[in-house]
Chains A and B, each alone.
Chain A
C-alpha cells in the first residue's frame, strides 16, 4: 500500500510532463517529417504562411490533443462502470454505448443529411444514451444480468443488433462507405472546431465523474455497505450512467468506435493505485490518454505508409490483455 500511495502521486504529479511529451511525440509522427524545433516554433511564434506550422496547428495538434482527451474519457467511463457494477468486464464498448451512438449517426446521415458536425455530436450523445439504456435496462431486469458474463453477452448481442440495423439501413440507403469512414477512420480528420465544441461537454462529464468518485468507491464495496453508509444508490447510479453517456458519446462522435481502452486501462490503473476510485478515476484519465495517443502514433507505422484504424490497434493490444484477465482472474467479481 505504501508503494501504491507513492505511485498515485507520481502518476498525477508527473502527468503534465508526460502528457506534454507524448503529445509532442505524436505531433512528430506522420508521413511528413517534422523537425522538433518547428513544433516549438509553431507554438511560440505561429506563422500562417509557413506550411509546416499550418500542418502542426490544424492537423497534428488537434489530432494529438483529441486522442489524449478521448483516451482519458473512455478510460474514466470504463473505471466508473467497473466500479459501479462491480463487474471487471464492464466497459463502454461492451455496454453497447458505441453501437448506440453509431446507430444514431447512421440515422442522421440518412434522414438528416444537412446536419452540421455539431448537431451530429449531439445526436451521438442521444444514441449512446439509448444504447446504454437498452443494455443496462435488460441487464438489470434479467436475473443475475449484471454479472460479468451475462452483461458481456447481453452487451455484445444488443451491440450486434444496433450495428446490424445500422448496416442494413446503410446498405439500403447506399451510405455504407460514408458510415464505414465514420466508424473507422475519423481521427485523422479531427477538426479543431469540433474539438473546441466538445470540450464543455467533456469538462462536464469529467467533473461529474470526479464528483462521483467517492460514491463509486462505496458502491464498489457492495450493495449492503452502500446502503449501510446511507448512500442514495439509485441517484448515484443514474448520475454515473449520465457521466458515462456524456463521455463515451463525445468519444464516438469524435473518432468512432474504439474498443478496449475503457476495459483495460482501469485494470492497469487499479494495479498502480489500489481500489480507491478517488484515485483510480483521475489516474485512469492520465494513463488512458497516454495509451490512446501512443496507439494513434503506432497506427501510423504498423502498415506504413497507410494508416491503420486506431480501433484495430487498441484491439490488437487489448485482446491479449483481455484473455490474460480471463485466464488469471477467472470470471468472478472485479477485485
Chain B
C-alpha cells in the first residue's frame, strides 16, 4: 500500500510536470500554494493536466475494482469488463445517445456530460442482462459460457456501434471513433464531476461487501446453508461494478485489460483476501491508467495515441504470461 501510494504520488508528479510545456517542481508547488501566480502555468496545470490525471486515476480505480469484483463473482481469472462485453454495451448505448442528439450536444454542455454515464449504465446493464440470461443454466452461472457470450455480445455491440457511427456526420464520427478507442484526450473538470457521484455510491457499496467475495469461493450450497442470500448479494455487487464500468466508459470509451491485470497483480502482492485485494486493485488500476495515459500523450507528442491502445499493448504480453504461468 505504502509503496503504491508513493508510486502514485511520483506518477502524479511526473504526469503533471512533463509534457510539451515542462513545469518544474518549484513551479508546481508555487501553483498549488498560489505563490507567484503565472497564468501560463495555471492554464497548463489546472486546465489541462490536473483534470486529466485525476480522471485517469478515477478510471483506473473504477476499472480495477470492477475487474476484481467480476473475477470474484465468476470465479474466473479471465473475466474483464472489456472481454465480458460490458464495455461495448455501454459504448453502444452512448453512441446511440450521440447519434440521436447530434447537433444538440457538445462536449462542453453540462446536461450532455452528466447524462452520459446514465446512458452508459443502461447499455452496460443491457449487455450484462443478455450475457447473464444466456450463460445462466440450471440455476447457476457457467463461467465458461459467460466468457464466450461476452466475446460474442461484445462483437455484436461493436458491429452495431460501427453501423450507427457510420450514419453520423463526419465530424461526429471522428468524435465517436476517438472516444470509442479509449481516450482521455478531452478530459475536463466537468467529466470529473460527472463520474464522481458514481464512485461515491458504488465504491463504498463494493468495499463493504469485500468479505462476500471471499465467501463466494465456497460452494453455493454451503453459502445458502449459512444464510447468505447469494443471488441478492451477487446482484448488488454486479450492479455496482457495472455502474463503475459505465461511468468510466462514458468519459473515456472502452479501456480493456485494466480490470484483467489489476486483480492478478493485487493477488500476487497481498494474497487471497478480498479485503486486501480490492484496495490494491484500485491502486494498481490508477497507476496503470495514469502511467499509460502519460505514455499515450508524450511518446508521439504533439500527436496522441488513445490510452486504451497503450494499455492493450502493455496488457497483452502480461496476459500471455498469465496464460503460461497461472492455472485458470
A172 touches B300 (CB 8 A): yes
Closest residue of chain B to A176, judged by CB? B177
B313 touches A164 (CB 8 A): yes
B159 touches A319 (CB 8 A): yes
Out of B130, B148, B305, B327, name the residue touching A331 (CB < 8 Å).
Answer: B148
**A157 interfacial contact with B, CB 8 Å:** yes
Bound CA span A149–B149, Å: 10
Please judge, given known A-B contacts A157-B316, A327-B134, whether A168 and B309 are in contact too, CB under 8 Å: yes
Please judge, given known A-B contacts A89-B148, A309-B162, whether A315 and B306 are in contact too, CB under 8 Å: no
A172 touches B151 (CB 8 A): no
B148 touches A161 (CB 8 A): no
Out of B163, B300, B304, B320, name the residue touching A308 (CB < 8 Å).
Answer: B163
B312 touches A160 (CB 8 A): yes
Bound CA span A145–B320, Å: 12
B316 touches A142 (CB 8 A): no
B167 touches A319 (CB 8 A): no
A315 touches B166 (CB 8 A): no
**A107 interfacial contact with B, CB 8 Å:** no
B148 touches A158 (CB 8 A): no
Task: Give A280-314 interface residues, CB cut-off 8 Å to B.
Answer: 302-303, 306, 308-309, 311-312
A308 to chain B: which residues have CB within 8 Å?
A: 163, 166
**A204 interfacial contact with B, CB 8 Å:** no
Q: Which 7 A-B pairs have the closest CB atoms?
A: A315-B159, A319-B156, A161-B316, A164-B312, A322-B152, A331-B144, A312-B159
Q: A89-B148, A312-B163, A320-B156 are in contact. List 5 more A-B contacts (CB 8 A).
A: A138-B320, A153-B147, A164-B312, A168-B310, A316-B159
Residues of A at the B interface (CB closer than 8 Å) are 89, 138, 141-143, 145, 148-149, 152-154, 156-158, 160-161, 164-165, 167-168, 171-172, 174, 180, 184, 259-260, 302-303, 306, 308-309, 311-312, 315-316, 318-320, 322-323, 326-327, 330-331
16 contacts between A and B (CB under 8 A): A153-B147, A160-B316, A161-B313, A164-B312, A164-B316, A171-B304, A303-B166, A303-B167, A306-B166, A309-B166, A316-B156, A319-B155, A323-B130, A323-B149, A323-B153, A331-B148
